[in-house]
Amino acid sequence: MSLIPRTFGYSELDPFMGSSIFDPFESLYGSLFDRAFPSFDKDVSAVANTRVDWVETPEAHVFKADLPGMKKEEIKIQVADDGVLSISGERNKEKVDEKDNYRRTERSFGKSFRQFKLPSNAKAQEISAKVENGVLTVTVPKTVESKKKPEVRNVEITG
């Protein structure tokens, strides 16, 4: 007899099931369906909700996106005339050999799409990008005027 409670064949203390023992917010996002099919939404959301960092340096806007397992041929970067940067990609599901007995599948697949409105100081025509170790880095240089520190002057109050 097991001392660890089980729900639909999965241990409540299983580190791959998300939260362990107690989650006060589970009622906000959890349901019987989620517990019955724990990997259903993970397959879609892991790729669809690609995490992106946007850092503004004195010289450029730098976007870093985690795209593990994606080749540069599977990634598409576009800039629209209205200054919207679009990053998209697709990771296809690997073919499964019928002879293999999968115990667990956690790696995700699907489409990814993110958009960002570039500020007016971005040089959209000079964007560069590279992929290294599953991280996409998109660099958008700034215009020369934006690199200057704004001049501040004091205004005398009369009256």
CA neighbor of 52 nearest in space, from 93, 107, 113, 118: 113
pLDDT tens sequence across 60-87: 999 999 988 888 899 999 999 889 999 9
Question: So what's the pLDDT on residue 69?
Answer: 82
The mean pLDDT of the chain is 76
Find, among 63, 107, 104, the residue nearest to 86 by Cα. 63
Start-end of H helices in 69-143: none
pLDDT tens digits, one per residue of 7-30:
444 444 444 444 444 555 555 555
Average pLDDT value for residue range 119-143? 94
Residue 94: predicted pLDDT: 76
Nearest Cα to Cα of residue 116 among 155, 72, 77: 77
Question: What residue ranges in the chain does DSSP mark as E strands?
Answer: 6-7, 10-11, 52-56, 60-66, 75-79, 84-91, 110-117, 128-132, 135-141
pLDDT for res 70 = 86
Q: Give the per-residue pLDDT at 10.
A: 46
Residue with tokens 């203390």: 13
Give the DSSP H/E element, type plus range, for residue 29: helix 26-29
Look at residue 24 and give its three-state secondary structure: coil
Largest Cα span, the chain: 89
Give the HSE-up count for residue 76: Cα atoms under 13 Å, Cβ half-sphere.
Answer: 11
